[in-house]
Amino acid sequence: MKHILFIVTSTDKTGTGNHTAGYEFSEVADPYFEFVNKGFTVDFASILGGKPPFVGYDPSQKTSKEFKKSNGFKRLNFSHKLSNIDIKAYDAIFFPGGLGLMTDMVDNALVKETIKEVYESNKVVGA
């Protein structure tokens, strides 16, 4: 079975602090079900670990509503701290969008090293 690590933001504000941030809910929910329905195992990590903030939840979107009730969402709310992850255990990494990503990941040395390691191992890096 293939394993994918979703890496989401840990911040709830943009760098200036003027805008609410977090991962974009549908950008986790939609690909999560695509991967799981094709037999992939999905795990979640964030810079700080724990419950990452999200924005853009729309209960009228069927996939988002289903994800919020899913085991995946429950596990996401206890995301692994990225520094504790053995990246070699994964076949791919995926970065769901959202403004938070541009705040806590763009200059993060661990994120850059993780991307480099996955890419140089001829594995998939997606966003």
DSSP string, 92-118: EEE----TTHHHHTTT-HHHHHHHHHH
CATH number at residue 108: 3.40.50.880
- Residue 65: Cβ-neighbour burial (10 angstroms; 0-12, 13-18, 19+): middle
Confidence of residue 17 (pLDDT cuts 50, 70, 90): low
Domain membership of residue 82 as a residue range: 3-126
Q: What is the pLDDT of residues 50-102, one digit of tens each?
A: 999 999 999 999 999 999 999 999 999 999 999 999 999 999 999 998 888 78
Q: What is the pTM of this model?
A: 0.94
Mean pLDDT over all residues of the chain?
A: 93
Whether the predicted pLDDT of 116 surpasses 80: yes
pLDDT at 19: 80
pLDDT at 21: 86
The tally of domains found in the chain comes to 1
